[in-house]
C-alpha cells in the first residue's frame, strides 16, 4: 500500500467502514510510515473533537425555508417531466394517427385501382385505319390528339427490311440464305450506310 492509498482510505478506517483484512493492512502501514501514523492520529483527534460539539437544532424558520425550497425544486422537476411526457406522447399519437390515415387511404386506392372495372377511354369518333407505308406521304386527314398518339406508337424500327436497297443489307440477306456450313463473313461486302431521320 502506498502513502496515497493510505490517505484516501484513512477516513473509512477511522469510521470503521473497512473489512478486518483492510484494517489490518492500514495498521501495518501506519506502523511502518511516520507520515501515515501522524495523519491517522490527526484524523482520530478531529473525529473526537467533533463528537464533543453540542448538537444544534435548526430554528423553525430555517426548517420551514429548507422544506419549502426542497418542495419547490421537486415540483419544478415534476412539471418539466410532465411537459416532456406531454410533448412526446402528443407527437407520437399524432404520428400514429397520420400513419393510420395513410394506410386507410392507401388500401382504398389499391381497391379502386386493382379491383374496379374502369375501362380505358375510347375515341368519340371512330376513324378508319390509315395504312402506313415507308416512303409514302400520309393523306391529309384531320386527326385528333389521341389518333396522333396512337400513330406515334406504331413507329417502325430501324430494320433491314426498310433498307433493302443497301449493298450491305443485300449481302447479309444472301448470307442468311446460305446453309450454316457455307457461311463465311469474308464474303460479305462491307459498305458504310448512314441513316437519316
Cα–Cα dist 77/147, whole Å: 74
Which range, 33-47, 88-102, 113-127, is most confident?
33-47
Nearest Cα to Cα of residue 144 among 119, 126, 171: 126
| pLDDT score of 92 | 73
Nearest CA to 169 out of 182, 156, 158, 180 is that of 158
Question: For position 44, what pLDDT does the model report?
Answer: 92
**Cα gap 71→6, rounded to integer Å:** 41
Taking the CB of residue 10, how many other CB atoms lie within 10 A of it? 19
Q: Which of 39-48, 88-97, 127-136 has the highest mean pLDDT?
A: 39-48
Helices assigned H by DSSP within the chain: 3-15, 20-32, 34-52, 60-115, 145-153, 167-177
Nearest Cα residue to 175 out of 163, 167, 185, 160: 185
> Contact at 8 Å (CB) between 164 and 170?
yes
Looking at residue 55, its pLDDT comes to 85
27-42 pLDDT per residue, tens: 999 999 899 999 999 9
User: If you search the block for the grid coordinates 425550497, which residue do you land on?
Assistant: 69
Chain-centroid distance of CA 98 in Å reads 19
> Model's pTM, two decimal places?
0.32
Reported as a single tens digit per residue, the pLDDT across 125-180 is 566 666 667 777 666 655 555 555 555 555 544 555 555 555 555 555 555 555 55
Q: According to the 3-state scheme, what is the secondary structure of 118-138?
A: CCCCCCCCCCCCCCCCCCCCC
Instruction: For residue 23, count other CB atoms closer than 10 A to its CB.
Output: 15
Of the ranges 58-72, 107-121, 123-137, 151-165, which one carries the lowest mean pLDDT score?
Answer: 151-165
Provide the pLDDT for residue 195.
62
Percent of the chain exceeding pLDDT 70 equals 57
Q: Which residues, at least 6 apart from 43, have a Cβ–Cβ distance to it below 8 Å?
A: 10, 11, 14
Confidence at 43, pLDDT banded by 50, 70, 90: very high
Place of cell 375515341: 123
Does residue 25 register a pLDDT over 70? Answer: yes
- The C-alpha cell of 162 is what? 426498310
Helices 3-15 + 34-52 axis angle, to 10: 30
Amino acid at each position: 500500500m502506498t502513502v496515497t492509498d493510505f490517505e484516501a482510505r484513512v477516513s473509512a478506517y477511522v469510521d470503521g467502514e473497512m473489512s478486518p483484512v483492510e484494517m489490518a493492512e492500514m495498521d501495518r502501514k501506519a506502523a511502518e510510515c511516520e507520515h501515515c501514523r501522524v495523519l491517522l492520529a490527526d484524523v482520530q483527534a478531529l473525529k473526537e473533537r467533533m463528537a464533543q460539539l453540542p448538537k444544534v437544532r435548526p430554528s423553525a424558520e430555517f426548517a420551514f425555508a429548507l422544506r419549502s425550497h426542497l418542495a419547490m425544486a421537486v415540483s419544478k422537476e415534476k412539471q418539466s417531466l410532465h411537459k416532456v411526457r406531454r410533448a412526446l406522447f402528443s407527437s407520437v399519437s399524432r404520428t400514429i394517427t397520420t400513419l393510420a390515415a395513410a394506410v386507410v387511404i392507401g388500401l382504398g386506392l389499391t381497391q379502386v385501382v386493382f379491383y374496379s372495372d374502369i375501362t380505358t377511354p375510347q375515341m368519340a369518333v371512330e376513324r378508319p385505319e390509315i395504312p402506313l407505308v415507308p416512303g409514302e406521304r400520309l393523306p391529309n386527314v384531320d386527326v385528333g390528339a389521341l389518333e396522333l398518339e396512337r400513330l406515334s406508337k406504331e413507329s417502325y424500327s430501324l430494320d433491314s427490311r426498310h433498307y433493302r436497297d443497301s449493298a450491305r443489307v443485300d449481302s447479309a440477306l444472301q448470307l442468311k440464305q446460305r446453309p450454316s456450313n457455307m457461311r463465311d463473313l469474308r464474303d460479305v461486302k462491307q459498305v458504310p450506310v448512314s441513316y437519316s431521320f
